[in-house]
Amino acid sequence: MAFIVHLSDMHVGAINFKDEFLLSAIKKSNELDPDLVIVTGDITENGYYLEFEHAAEYLDLIESPLLVVPGNHDSRHIGNESFEELIRKRCRTLVVKNNEIKAIGLDSSEPDLDYGKVGRAQQRRMERELKEAENRNLYKIIALHHHLIPVPKTGRERNVLTDAGDILKSVVEGNADLVLSGHKHVPHAWQLENTAFVTAGTVSSLKLRGKDICSFNTIDIHEKSVEIVLNQSNGNSRILAKYENKCKVID
Ligand SMILES: [Fe+2]
Ligand SMILES: [Fe+2]
């Protein structure tokens, strides 16, 4: 069995950023001692250097292996340069859990734009990484900020990746097991072929739709099933989705 914590959309620096929600999620994550924590972008609100410094302080509190990818908010105001300096070392391909899980981070942000794009260079790298992981029979996770498949209850779709079709094809043909995203602040899960596509809500910002509340996801990977649990800031939790585990390496 493997266990993963998925946090997203911290929005450090936003007027409605809730420090206590983020600290509580990090505390819970540390208690759960996951094999991997993945943070899928919008760690800052405006991409300001000071916000990145502050966000890095929070990320340093996470005691488990960590993978962070940037979001569109992180690429505002040349935040992409600040991300490079302060966060990039946390944004890399990770192999964890006794060489059983490979997590591949992608940067889908574009400077000062809200839409996302992975681009051909990263797409080729991802394809190579997936193939290498497939040959070694690893459990394969892709992490990127923007969603690849539209998320319900998020209004008019404007922010799916501009190259979503190409990336989706590479992800599915590369037999990725799990794709983790954020961006819409709406937790949801889709399954397509052998791949589960899971979006997390915002862990610590009140940029919420209707009566939604802040949350983060935890993912239990068992030999026969994958269970995605939604953990809300009010302490409630419930199963968001449960799928058959098509990758047999996890015991
Ligand atoms: Fe966001
Ligand atoms: Fe976003």
* Residue 56, domain CATH: 3.60.21.10
In 3D space, the residue among 210, 209, 199, 211 whose CA is nearest the CA of residue 236 turns out to be 211
Cβ atoms of 240 and 189 within 8 Å: the answer is yes
Q: How far is the CA of 132 from the centre of ligand 2 (A)?
A: 30
pTM (two decimals): 0.96
In contact, 48 and 12? CB cutoff 8 Å: no
Residue type, 138: L
Among residues 43, 3, 21, the alpha carbon closest in space to that of 182 is found at: 43
Range of the domain at 163: 7-36+44-212
Residue indicated by tokens 């899980």: 101
Q: Is the dihedral of CA 234, 239, 116, 86 positive or negative?
A: positive
Residue 146 CA: which ligand is closest?
Answer: 2
Of all ligands present, the nearest one to the C-alpha of 9 is 1
CA–centroid distance, residue 184 to ligand 2 (Å):
6
| Interval between CA 207 and ligand 1 midpoint (Å) | 8
Q: Which two tokens stand for residue 46?
A: 């405006």
2 located within any domain? no
Q: Which-ligand-closest: CA of 109?
A: 2
Looking at the domain assignment, is residue 146 inside a domain? yes
Residue 202 falls inside a structural domain: yes
> Ligand 1 centre and the CA of 14: distance in Å?
10
- DSSP-assigned beta bridge partners for residue 44: 12
Q: How far apart are CA 100 and CA 138, in angstroms?
A: 5
Q: How far is the CA of 146 from the centre of ligand 1 (A)?
A: 10
Residue 101 placed within a domain: yes
Q: Could you say which ligand is closest to the alpha carbon of residue 147?
A: 2
Residue 105 lies in a domain: yes
Within a domain: residue 219? Answer: no
User: Taking Cα atoms as reference points, which of 58, 36, 50, 43 lies closest to residue 9?
Assistant: 43
Strand partners, 228: 219, 241
Question: Does residue 240 belong to any structural domain of this protein?
Answer: no
Distance 213 CA to ligand 1 centre (A): 14
Other CB atoms within a 10 A radius of the CB of residue 16 amount to: 12
Per-residue pLDDT of the chain (251 residues; tens, 9 = 90+): 799 999 999 999 999 999 999 999 999 999 999 999 999 999 999 999 999 999 999 999 999 999 999 999 999 999 999 999 999 777 778 888 878 999 999 999 999 999 999 999 999 999 999 999 999 999 999 999 999 999 998 888 887 899 999 999 999 999 999 999 999 999 999 999 999 999 999 999 999 999 999 999 999 999 899 999 999 999 999 999 999 987 755 55
CA 50–ligand 1 middle distance (angstroms) = 18
Q: Is residue 72 in some structural domain?
A: yes
* Ligand 2 center from residue 240 Cα (angstroms): 21
Residue 225, SS3 per DSSP:
strand
How is residue 42 annotated by DSSP? -
Question: Which ligand lies nearest to the CA atom of residue 214 in the structure?
Answer: 1
pLDDT at 249: 58
Specify the number of domains making up the chain.
Answer: 1
Return d(Cα 224, Cα 251) in angstroms, integer.
9
What is the CA 123 to chain-centroid distance, rounded? 17
Q: Edge to edge, what strands does the sheet with 139-143 contain?
A: 94-96, 101-105, 139-143, 178-181, 195-199, 188-192
Q: Indicate which ligand has the atom closest to the C-alpha of 8.
A: 1
Q: Kindly give the residue spans of alpha helices, DSSP state H, lying in the chain.
A: 19-32, 49-59, 79-86, 120-135, 164-173
